Amino acid sequence: MTLSPDLTPLTPRKRAVLVGASSGIGAALARELAHRGYALALLARRAGALDALCREINAAAGDTRAVAYTHDVTDYELIPALFQKLLADLGRIDSVVYAAGVMPTVTFTEYNFDKDKAMVDSQLLGALAWLGQAAALFERMGEGQIVGIASVAGDRGRVLNPGYGAAKAGFVTYLESLRNRLTRRGVNVLTIKPGRVDTEMSRAAGMTRGLYPVGKTAAAIARAMHKRKQVVYIPGWYRFLMLGIIHTPSFIFRRLKF
Amino acid sequence: MSHLNGRHPALPADRLTRVENFGHSIAAPGYVFRPTQPGQVADLFHAARKQGFTIGLRGAGRSYGDAAINRGQAVLDLSRMRRLLAWDPHKGILKVEPGFTIQNLWQSTLEDGWWGPVMPGTMFPTLGGCLSSNIHGKNNWHAGPIGEHVLEFTALLPNGREVTCTPGKNADLFHAMIGGMGLLGVFTSITLQLKKVHSGYLDVRAWAEPNLARILAATDEGKDHDYIVGWVDCTAGGRGLGRGQMHSADYLPEGADPEPAQSLRVEHQALSPNLFGIVPRSIIHQAMKLGFHNPGIWAVNTAKYTLNRTLGHDKRYWQSFVAFNFLLDYVPDWERAYGRGGLIQYQTFLPKAAAAEAWRDMLRLCQRRGLPSYLGVVKRHRPDKFLLSHALDGFSLAMDFKVSDRNRHKLHALTADLTRIALAAGGRFYFAKDSALTAADARAYLGDETIAKFQVLKHKSDPHGILQTDLYRRCFSNE
């Protein structure tokens, strides 16, 4: 299946690659961007969920807006060839969104290297492998947009899930470096820091209260992409909440339980 | 579509580059290869067959549309394959590689008294590109397209064959590869018959005409001049719709120029690097940027026409070949004056009888939509025997449009409407300029039979469909 071509060279459709698109924020963002007219390459491990999402998007658009590629982000060595294939299939890429990542449940007293490694592999190393490809392309093109779905969890080392926080903090710092390298080349790097969003991942981790709707989250990300923002908290008021948390002195923070 | 597969990238990542059209209004990434030897071209064809990628051919990148862009895949830039293989100053026969440019040509041959029989408005295209587009000059009525002056070419086809084509030998391929937009094979050598000249000057006449009907009449009446071209002020409305200025030019007969050896010298032809002796030409386009919006262009066109009508009316003078032919090179990087969004050119070829009415409608439509063409140029044409020919017995009008992020959709709608008017009038189009046609439009003017013939040749010389460009996928996809 191939994406529907542009009407004319003058009026190209925006084209985005979404890594980690089968569920959660990734899937919601795929729907939102397709609704905004984007053509999409959707990547995820779970072929079934991904195909169903593509079918749903294409049926709603009445057009081939989304094409599925089954991929595990920890197959790092496959990524350069796959990126080249995506570029050949799409012809042009305007945005690369990295939304992949697992978050196993970790108890207060648990120190499990396998779980921590799975988080670092998918949240951080996969991002380095994918966004490095994107950065090289966009730098040469002198345009483009990199979007990282990070988390407020990277803002402070909390008691809850050390591996997750560390992976997200690394991701946020990596995105900031990309931003500082690429802004001068005409490339926008957007860091998204969602708070508690209503996704399978959050619910599986036991969060039930105060969850922000995933559809509204996706709409906010799409708006931030359109406005070429730098760092965006979702919901927006989290910026102030996190400001407080970041500046909470350690002697207090050590005693907190979240 | 691509079949790039497997563990390792089929194309070297370090070759990934931004590839643009001449007008900087269309851009796409491509893996750009710039070989110097035909053997390297054969190797790339082999790799493409084996690994399933496509290759778009590119010369100097001077086409206005997407003819030399192959988005996301390989681009074979032939501009470094530019050796002069043979030159006979007695017969005026030149044999070169495809990356040899029009500038290389006149600088190599003019001092021997030979000039390109067909010259485009700029000296920067490669001859491979000129043949692929089958370019024409301001002398199309007289001299036909460049293809009519090709004695022979050799080419490497994607199926691995090397062929020699002349108007008589492999005639089908000869008439299809010339004008074939680089979709059938790569020229490896081109042999051209040049035109004998007896001076480095042309005898030029300039005069103004008050409307489109008069411009077309003058272009037709002037077709027996060696060169005839009209400039059209596309911003003028009402009774002045289509007004402009004509230029005719003729070669000087032997003996008219007392010192031909002087006027034929390269140094004598070259434009001075400064305007009025002080302003460097290289910075003019920066200043032009300030005036490149609708009101600015209206003022410039009006002022130019007024000057043409008064001080410049009915002037006769000698002008160097370079100054007359390569008007577009007068301001280096002029296309940058259009700003960030760049420009497109939209050129239609209309039969003699239908042209005036259709273009009046088109000019009015552009003005009504608030998208006037910033530059209009009229030429006289005649039909030729090439398969994908743009020519016919009639006129062409080329119009340049500014592109911006805000007007892209409006501009697309406008060109679609202009195409409808042109097709209804029996019009034709020119792939080297085009960025607006759909496959259905291309079929409408080329005809089913021509497209079928082209596809047969394409399938024979390129059975795996290796040679592709954005233009090919746009205009030759199966609708």
Sign of CA dihedral B151, B156, B159, B162: positive
Q: Which residues pair with B350 in a beta bridge?
A: B395
Task: Decide: helix, strand or coil at residue A220.
Answer: helix
**Any CB–CB contact under 8 A between A139 and chain B?**
no
pLDDT at residue A175, as a whole number: 98
Query: What are the tens digits of pLDDT across the range B150-184?
Result: 999 999 999 999 999 999 999 999 999 999 999 99
Per-residue pLDDT, averaged over A224-230, amounts to 98
Cβ neighbors of A249 (< 8 A, separation 6 or more) are none
- Which residue in chain A has the smallest CA separation from B11? A84
Measure the CA–CA gap between B47 and B297, rounded to whole angstroms.
Answer: 49
Cβ-in-10-Å burial (0-12, 13-18, 19+) of A108 comes to exposed
B3 pLDDT more than 90: no
Say yes or no for a CB contact (<8 Å) between B9 and A84. yes
**Any CB–CB contact under 8 A between A9 and chain B?**
yes
Query: What are the tens digits of pLDDT across the range A56-101?
Result: 999 999 999 999 999 999 999 999 999 999 999 999 999 999 999 9
- Find the CB nearest A142 among B2, B16, B18: B18
Cα distance from A137 to chain B (closest Cα, Å)?
7
**Any CB–CB contact under 8 A between A7 and chain B?**
yes
Place of tokens 């996706």: A218
**Any CB–CB contact under 8 A between A81 and chain B?**
yes
**Any CB–CB contact under 8 A between B7 and chain A?**
yes
Residues of A in contact with B9 (CB under 8 A): 80-81, 83-84
B479 pLDDT more than 70: no
- Find the CB nearest A10 among B10, B11, B412: B412
Task: Decide: helix, strand or coil at residue A63.
Answer: coil
- Find the CB nearest A88 among B8, B53, B470: B53
% pLDDT > 90, chain B: 93
Amino acid at B358: A
Contact A126, A174 (CB under 8 A): no
* Mean pLDDT over each residue of chain A, to the nearest integer: 95
Say yes or no for a CB contact (<8 Å) between A78 and B8. no
Query: What are the tens digits of pLDDT across the range B20-64?
Result: 999 999 999 999 999 999 999 999 999 999 999 999 999 999 999
Instruction: Give the H/E segment covering residue A254.
Output: none
Amino acid at B342: G
pLDDT at residue B416, as a whole number: 97
Domain B13-78+455-475 bears CATH identifier 3.30.43.10: yes
Closest among B292, B433, B424, B287 to B354, alpha carbons compared: B424
Cβ-in-10-Å burial (0-12, 13-18, 19+) of A109 comes to exposed
Residues of B in contact with A137 (CB under 8 A): 16, 29
Tell me, letter by letter, the H, E, C secondary structure of B327-385. Answer: HHHCCCCHHHHHCCCCEEEEEEEEECCCHHHHHHHHHHHHHHCCCCCCEEEEEEECCCC
Residues of A in contact with B10 (CB under 8 A): 81, 84
Planar angle of CA A65, A66, A68, nearest 5 degrees: 160
pLDDT at residue B327, as a whole number: 87
CA B213 to chain centre: 25
Per-residue pLDDT, averaged over B284-308, amounts to 94
Say yes or no for a CB contact (<8 Å) between A140 and B26. no
Q: For the structural domain made of A15-253, what CATH number should be given?
A: 3.40.50.720
Task: Give the count of Cβ contacts less than 8 A between chain A and B.
Answer: 87
Place of tokens 């990356």: B99
pLDDT at residue B1, as a whole number: 44
CA B77 to chain centre: 17
Domain boundaries, chain A: 15-253
Q: Which amino acids of A are annotated catalytic?
A: 164
pLDDT at residue B369, as a whole number: 97
Structure tokens at A32: 């939102």
pLDDT at residue B282, as a whole number: 86
Query: What are the tens digits of pLDDT across the range A182-204?
Result: 999 999 999 999 999 999 888 88
Closest among A153, A224, A196 to A25, alpha carbons compared: A196
pLDDT at residue A65, as a whole number: 95
Structure tokens at A79: 């990524």
% pLDDT > 90, chain A: 88
Binned at pLDDT 50, 70 and 90, residue A252 comes out as very high
B308 pLDDT more than 60: yes
Q: Residues 84 to 103 of A: which have CB under 8 A from any B CB?
A: 84-85, 87-93
Judging by DSSP bridges, how do beta strands A15-19 and A95-98 pair with one another? parallel
B466 pLDDT more than 50: yes
Please state, in angstroms and as integers, the Cα–Cα distance from residue B359 to each residue in A2, B275, B351, B363, B412, following that order: 39, 35, 11, 6, 18
Amino acid at A61: A
Structure tokens at B478: 């199966």
User: For residue A176, is it left (φ>0), alpha (ψ between -120 and 50) or beta?
Assistant: alpha
Q: For the structural domain made of B84-196, what CATH number should be given?
A: 3.30.465.10
Place of tokens 């051919």: B57
Tell me, letter by letter, the H, E, C secondary structure of chain B. Answer: CCCCCCCCCCCCHHHEEEEECCCCCCEEEEEEECCCCHHHHHHHHHHHHHHCCCEEEECCCCCCCCCCCCCCCEEEECCCCCCEEEEECCCCEEEECCCCEHHHHHHHHHHHCEECCCCCCCCCCEHHHHHHHCCCCCCHHHHCCHHHHEEEEEEECCCCCEEEECCCCCHHHHHHHCCCCCCCCEEEEEEEECEECCCCEEEEEEEEECCHHHHHHHHHHHHHCCEEEEEECCCCCHHHCCCEEEEEEEECCCCCCCCHHHHCCHHHHCCCCEECCCEEHHHHHHHHHCCCCHHHHHHHHHHHHHHHHCCCCCEEEEEEHHHHHCHHHCCCCHHHHHCCCCEEEEEEEEECCCHHHHHHHHHHHHHHCCCCCCEEEEEEECCCCCCCCCCCCEEEEEEEEECCCCCHHHHHHHHHHHHHHHHHCCCECCCCCCCCCCHHHHHHHHCHHHHHHHHHHHHHHCCCCCECCHHHHHHCCCC
Query: What are the tens digits of pLDDT across the range B397-447?
Result: 999 999 999 999 999 999 999 999 999 999 999 999 999 999 999 999 999
Say yes or no for a CB contact (<8 Å) between A11 and B412. yes
Contact B447, A22 (CB under 8 A): no
Residues of B in contact with A78 (CB under 8 A): 7
Q: Which residues pair with B396 in a beta bridge?
A: B349, B379
* Mean pLDDT over each residue of chain B, to the nearest integer: 95
Please state, in angstroms and as integers, the Cα–Cα distance from residue B466 to each residue in A35, B54, B82, B341, following that order: 34, 5, 23, 31
Binned at pLDDT 50, 70 and 90, residue A210 comes out as confident
Binned at pLDDT 50, 70 and 90, residue B2 comes out as very low
Say yes or no for a CB contact (<8 Å) between A89 and B72. yes
Instruction: Give the H/E segment covering residue A18.
Output: strand A15-19
Closest among A28, A30, A72 to A47, alpha carbons compared: A72
Structure tokens at B197: 């000249």
Closest among B239, B262, B182 to B432, alpha carbons compared: B182
CA B134 to chain centre: 8
CATH architecture of the domain with residue range B201-436:
3-Layer(aba) Sandwich (3.40)
Measure the CA–CA gap between B137 and B120, rounded to whole angstroms.
Answer: 5
Residues of A in contact with B403 (CB under 8 A): 10
Closest among B388, B106, B461 to B263, alpha carbons compared: B106
Say yes or no for a CB contact (<8 Å) between A10 and B403. yes
Q: What are the DSSP calls for A125-184, one per residue?
A: IHHHHHHHHHHHHHHHHT--EEEEE--GGGGS--SS-HHHHHHHHHHHHHHHHHHHHHGG
Total-model pTM: 0.94
Measure the CA–CA gap between B192 and A180, rounded to whole angstroms.
Answer: 53
Contact A52, A78 (CB under 8 A): no
Cβ-in-10-Å burial (0-12, 13-18, 19+) of B169 comes to exposed
A138 pLDDT more than 90: yes
Per-residue pLDDT, averaged over B385-408, amounts to 97
Binned at pLDDT 50, 70 and 90, residue A8 comes out as confident
DSSP state of A217: H
Query: What are the tens digits of pLDDT across the range B98-156?
Result: 999 999 999 999 999 999 999 999 999 999 999 999 999 999 999 999 999 999 999 99
Per-residue pLDDT, averaged over B200-209, amounts to 97
- Find the CB nearest B18 among A7, A77, A141: A141
pLDDT at residue A203, as a whole number: 87
**CATH topology agreement for domains B13-78+455-475 and B84-196:** no
Measure the CA–CA gap between B251 and B209, rounded to whole angstroms.
Answer: 24
Say yes or no for a CB contact (<8 Å) between A91 and B72. yes
Say yes or no for a CB contact (<8 Å) between A87 and B403. no
Judging by DSSP bridges, how do beta strands A15-19 and A39-44 pair with one another? parallel
Disruptive mutation site among B32, B474, B476 for chain A (greatest number of A CBs within 10 Å): B474
**Any CB–CB contact under 8 A between A2 and chain B?**
yes
Domain boundaries, chain B: 13-78+455-475, 84-196, 201-436
B70 pLDDT more than 50: yes
